[in-house]
Copies of this chain bind each other. A is one copy, B any other.
Amino acid sequence: MAKALASIVSAGCSVFGKREGLSSRELFVEAFHEALERCPDLDPRRDIKASFIGHVYQGYEKQGHLAVALADWAGLTPIPSTRIENACASSTVALRVAVASIAAGFYDIVLVGGAEKLTTLSGIESQDLANTFLDFPTEQWNGISFPSVFAMVARAHMHKYGTTERQMAQVAVKNLSHGIMNPKAAMRKELSIEDIMDSRVISSPIKLQECTMLTDGACCLIITRADLAESFTSIPVDIIGMGQSHEKIGLAGRGDLAIPMAAVRAATEAYQMAGVGPEQIEIAEVHDCFTIGEILAYEALGFCEFGDGGKLLEEGATYKDGRIPVNTDGGLKAKGHPVGATGAAQIYEIYLQLTEQAGERQLKNVDIGLAHNIGGNLSSCTVTIMKRRR
């Protein structure tokens, strides 16, 4: 197995949902406080040397330059503070550049995170903002929205592999059944397959309850040089593999829509770097912004053959007590989707599980976890593989 690129020594996450009266700044500080409480040996002003922040909906809060604002509110000025935007994959791309900066010797200890404030947007406004992550000339201009992109992909998958609408609905059922154990999730309510199937059609075959909600939220991670990690925690979580890949910005430029090539390539890179294969992954967080996204992820990550994602779910393999538990925190479906914070929150769940801090939803004996984070219309993907040190 590969050596650690860097290590996670603490993490914090705000409650996700409608956080009335709180901006990205307060939410980020809420997450940061949790990370500090977990890590009493860290003196943030002495130890943290840089921050890398995922943030997407710039302009909505009338606050660009957000990495600098968040570092200020976290009491960390003047450390180098950098904002990354790669649509919904922003904070895991931030993690990648942070890890590179540590590996390069620029810094020993850094803060990685994300923050977003979205719930005071109207439905139309949030659609408009989300749509800017699609290709302008071939998609936005033609009235194609996020649900319709994923509907096209779902149709392609149904056509090629026979994936069913009930299988897709079951993704939401599973994730909501996990989410009721997550006190930070925005939607803590179980629904049946029928509830999902009967919810109104947004863009056929995608129904309302197959979409995630855009919420407010923030998350942060404390990342150190691997050899320093044990000064701050008794259970470091080593980052042993990372992948980042892309597809052409518009769906029209791609090949087979049923195979998410950015994810396939990112997974290949991450597995090779980590020196592990899919059969060694004991827990995964995957990007279920729409239910089809999770089925695509199973296949791209090698948890099953291409086309067998729906069956893997039906067999129960990805439930909390299954062979390869996926989205034990409820996924984007239950947690909600504060876009810039979403990727970091996936890493947060893996960190909690590997360090036995996941409370009611804690898995037993998990050492290796993976996070899969999609950006835009599947045009960005990162895969991160982590291993608990023993």
Hey, which bits of chain A sit against chain B, CB under 8 A? 56, 58-59, 61-65, 67-69, 71-72, 77-87, 93, 96-97, 99-106, 129, 131-133, 135-136, 140, 244-250, 253, 261-262, 265, 375-376, 379-380
Q: Which of B83, B100, B136, B248 contacts A62 (CB 8 A)?
A: B136
Q: Which of B99, B129, B261, B375 contacts A65 (CB 8 A)?
A: B375
> Would you mind naming 20 contact pairs between A and B with Cβ atoms under 8 Å apart?
A58-B85, A58-B132, A59-B132, A61-B136, A62-B132, A63-B136, A64-B376, A65-B380, A68-B249, A68-B376, A68-B380, A72-B248, A79-B246, A80-B96, A80-B245, A83-B84, A97-B100, A100-B100, A101-B101, A103-B106
B residues in contact with A245, CB < 8 Å: 78, 80
6 closest pairs, A vs B, by CB? A103-B104, A80-B244, A104-B104, A64-B132, A100-B104, A100-B101
B residues in contact with A61, CB < 8 Å: 136
Q: How far is the CB of A367 from chain B (nearest CB, A)?
A: 25
B residues in contact with A135, CB < 8 Å: 63, 69
CA distance A93 to B101 in the complex (A): 12
Query: Which single residue of chain B is at the shortest CB-CB distance from A382?
Result: B80
CA distance A35 to B140 in the complex (A): 31
Q: How far is the CB of A185 from chain B (nearest CB, A)?
A: 26
CA distance A131 to B63 in the complex (A): 8
Q: How many copies does the complex hold?
A: 2
CA distance A68 to B249 in the complex (A): 6
**Cβ-defined contact, A77 with B247, below 8 A:** yes
What 8 additional pairs, Cβ within 8 angstroms, besides A64-B376, A69-B135, A82-B93? A63-B135, A63-B136, A65-B380, A72-B249, A77-B248, A78-B261, A80-B96, A82-B86
Query: Which single residue of chain B is at the shortest CB-CB distance from A87?
Result: B65
B residues in contact with A80, CB < 8 Å: 96, 244-246
**Cβ-defined contact, A140 with B62, below 8 A:** yes
Query: Which single residue of chain B is at the shortest CB-CB distance from A134?
Result: B65
**Cβ-defined contact, A85 with B86, below 8 A:** no
**Cβ-defined contact, B81 with A83, below 8 A:** no
B residues in contact with A56, CB < 8 Å: 64
Q: Which of B59, B64, B106, B376 contacts A100 (CB 8 A)?
A: B106
